Amino acid sequence: MMMVRKSKGLGERHQRILEFLQVYQRANKYPPSIREIGEKTGITSTSVVNYYLDQLEKKGLIERDRKISRGVRLSGMNGSADTLRIPILGPIAAGLPLPELDPNISYMTDSEANAVDIARSLLSSKEKGDNLFALEVKGESMIDAMINDGDIVVLKPATDARNGEMVAVWLPRDNEATLKYFFKEKERYRLQPANPTMKPIFIKKSEPLEIKGKVVLVIRRLDKVLAS
């Protein structure tokens, strides 16, 4: 099982609460209690938990029924109309090319093994869900961005990017795909890992480089969420 983490715009505690809500509800078929949310996200005060839940509710990311003890749930968890199935097109790893993405072709699949369901409420207003695709991360080059080996990244198709955006890139020179922060420099492109033990990749502007997509969501492995 996987769970969804919003890639930006929320604090770490907000993200951890969203993660736990989806993990717990999918595993148990009912929402957790306020105390359970606090215990699993490292918040000792139930009033502080309620503070963060209030903020998430105002953002439309959760729904609350204050008349019952387990009245918190992630928006869109009940009902397929509020969920979106994203196709997992394959791994992003050395030696494996990314598929060509045609905006006129649907990559949707009914196979659970090749797709992931997410709540539409986790997408920003700019990402409607059209033509989104997902890739399984191989390696640890983005661990400081909270992206680990085995995680899933959801991307929107793109052929260009601004400095600092996280992108999936196909490098014909090396016959490999990679997930990195993208930067345009004077004579070259810099693909920056989020791991201090790894060096950036430099590509001359005269060499081919194909941006395939920009990351909009990260889906973390369930075992890592429960262990954290």
Which residues lie below 8 Å from residue 99, measured CB to CB, with a gap of 6+? Answer: 89, 90
Residue whose C-alpha is closest to residue 220's, from 153, 135, 165: 153
Alpha carbon distance 52, 118 (integer Å): 21
Catalytic-labelled residue, pool 7, 75, 121, 141:
141
Strands 62-64 and 2-6: unpaired
Q: Is 199 a catalytic residue?
A: no
Q: Are 147 and 138 in contact (CB under 8 A)?
A: no
Catalytic-labelled residue, pool 40, 180, 212, 214:
180
Determine the Cα angle at 201 with ends 195 and 203, to 5°: 160
Q: Is 47 a catalytic residue?
A: no
Structural element, H or E, at residue 214: strand 210-221
Catalytic site residues? Answer: 141, 180
